[in-house]
Amino acid sequence: MTPALRSFEAQWRGRAADPLSQVRRQAMEHFMRLGIPTLRDESWRYTDLRSLAAQSFVDAPQDAMLGGATHAAPLLNSAEGALTVLMINGRPVLPDAPFSESNSLSISTLRELSRIDPMLLARHLEPLSDAEQQRWSLLNTALFVDGLYLKVTGKLAAPLLILHVSVGGSAATVSYPRVIIEVAPGASATIVEQHVSQGELAPLCNSTTRIELHEDAELEHYRVFLSGSEATHIDSLDVRQDRGSRCKQFTIVLGGGLVRTTLDSQLSRPGASLDSYSLLVGHESRHADCVNIATHAAPDTRSRQTARAIAGGTSRVVFNSKVVVGKGAMHADSQQSFRGLLLSPKAEIDSRPQLEIHADEVKCAHGSTTGRLDPNMLFYMLSRGLDRQTAQSLLVFAFLADVLTGVSVPAARSAMESALITQLPDSQLLRNFR
């Protein structure tokens, strides 16, 4: 076994028994049998984890407190009417006073839920999957210490911010944040998960979020990565959608050193709809790998995947998307669109749109392009009197900001645009045009 596997096994042996021990044991056995993904695994062929596998990890401190500045400010605050829940190394810090919208939202910790209703929690942890893109989620299931359970029962007017902070007391630590979001029939909410780090010794963060949308439920969900350049983040997002449900999901990578995100969406009933947007910024030596899988398991389902990426310096950006249309999923409608922009001769962008269709009478399309700035657009800008440097900067920003047009929370959009600008060429110039 690799040093990392031995250390994960040691963490497992050190865990105390709890009502979820059977599910945890099965998850750990699955993970140990499958091992850490390698370049031979299809969805990991662009991300090399050998340096990670060679390290030994211990649990990140559960009693860590915020004692310094994080690498990014919260995207939302109370001035915008946002509700905020803090998680430090996967440990929830709930507010002393209940939220004013408590009639539409209930929040509990997973540790508390495992004590009062372990069957409910176990239902959200199963079934366990051997799929390679879900491998780190198995490890999270086995080793998470605590987390959040959110139940939305009405129309939540204000957005909810879950601020994940990774604090490393020493090198080679790991945290396992876990969030479960359940949206009742007809309910709706906007939930933002923001990942930041504090200090230069950010732990390996292996986070998992499970979303369950019941009939006619609506959710706008964001996961935004704004950690420091030394941070390694592996995030798994699992979405299950019932009849008529609508999910609008944004994945924004603006920070971190190595960031691997997975979206696994199951459109399980007729009328379910998914709109997925990915904004991936390769900066300096960052490695960003985004895997999106949408499975149409029922007729009359719809999915849209839209991704924009840039890569500068020596960075590498990967977008690996797949649509699976199962047997009997007639009239499924899906589209995949990826556009990448190279800003440096040493940068790299890899895209791989895929279709797997097992039904007739479906409408599926995909497109992928990667290159440099459009010379015709650049000529148009120059012909309007702009100098070349200004024209190029504005075109790069417009190329990426296209994904952010669908953000419904103005404050969050403004904060993400500001964070984006700091990583683009001529950032000061772009600020003058905002």
The predicted-structure confidence for 150-178, as pLDDT tens digits, reads as follows 999 999 988 999 999 998 777 789 999 99
Rounded to whole angstroms, the Cα distance separating 195 from 253 reads 10
151 within domain boundaries: yes
Domain limit, last residue, from 223, 240, 269: 269
Q: What is the pLDDT of residues 281-303, one digit of tens each?
A: 998 999 999 999 999 999 999 99
What is the CB neighbour count within 10 angstroms for residue 39? 12
Rounded to whole angstroms, the Cα distance separating 322 from 264 reads 10
Q: Identify whether residues 55 and 170 lie together within a single domain.
A: yes
Rounded to whole angstroms, the Cα distance separating 151 from 337 reads 33
Structure tokens at 22: 């059977």
8 within domain boundaries: yes
Q: Which of 67-76, 168-177, 184-193, 235-244 has the lowest mean pLDDT?
A: 67-76
Give the percent of the chain with pLDDT over 70: 95
Q: What is the pLDDT of residues 346-372, one digit of tens each?
A: 999 999 999 999 999 999 999 898 888
Q: Identify whether residues 405 and 259 lie together within a single domain.
A: no
154 within domain boundaries: yes
More confident site: 428 or 57: 57
Q: Identify whether residues 247 and 391 lie together within a single domain.
A: no
415 within domain boundaries: yes
Q: Identify whether residues 62 and 197 lie together within a single domain.
A: yes
Q: At residue 80, does pLDDT exceed 70?
A: no
Average pLDDT rounded to a whole number, residues 134-150 = 95
Rounded to whole angstroms, the Cα distance separating 186 from 2 reads 47
Domain limit, last residue, from 238, 269, 300: 269
Q: Contact at 8 Å (CB) between 354 and 322?
A: yes
As to burial, measured by CB atoms within 10 angstroms (0-12 exposed, 13-18 middle, 19+ buried), residue 376 is exposed
Q: Integer distance in angstroms from the first to the last C-alpha of the chain?
A: 53
Signed CA dihedral, 412, 319, 314, 200: sign only = positive
- Provide the pLDDT for residue 102: 61
Q: Which of 210-214, 320-324, 428-432 has the lowest mean pLDDT?
A: 428-432
Q: How far is CA 48 from CA 21, 111, 134, 409, in A?
A: 32, 34, 17, 36
Q: Identify whether residues 379 and 254 lie together within a single domain.
A: no
- CA angle 25-31-35, nearest 5°? 150
Rounded to whole angstroms, the Cα distance separating 125 from 119 reads 10
pLDDT band for position 179 (cuts 50, 70, 90): very high
- Provide the pLDDT for residue 130: 85
59 within domain boundaries: yes
Q: At residue 104, does pLDDT exceed 60?
A: yes
Domain with 433, as residue range(s), is 373-434
Q: At residue 305, does pLDDT exceed 60?
A: yes
Q: What is the pLDDT of residues 377-395, one digit of tens each?
A: 888 778 878 788 778 788 8
Q: Identify whether residues 55 and 200 lie together within a single domain.
A: yes
Average confidence score pLDDT of the chain: 90
Domain limit, last residue, from 269, 298, 325: 269
Q: At residue 239, does pLDDT exceed 60?
A: yes
338 within domain boundaries: no
76 within domain boundaries: yes
Q: Which of 334, 356, 225 is nearest to 290 (CA)?
A: 225
Q: Identify whether residues 255 and 378 lie together within a single domain.
A: no
394 within domain boundaries: yes
- Provide the pLDDT for residue 79: 57
Residues in Cβ contact with 129 at an 8 Å cutoff, skipping those fewer than 6 apart:
137, 138
Q: Contact at 8 Å (CB) between 244 and 386?
A: no
If one counts the domains in the chain, the total is: 2
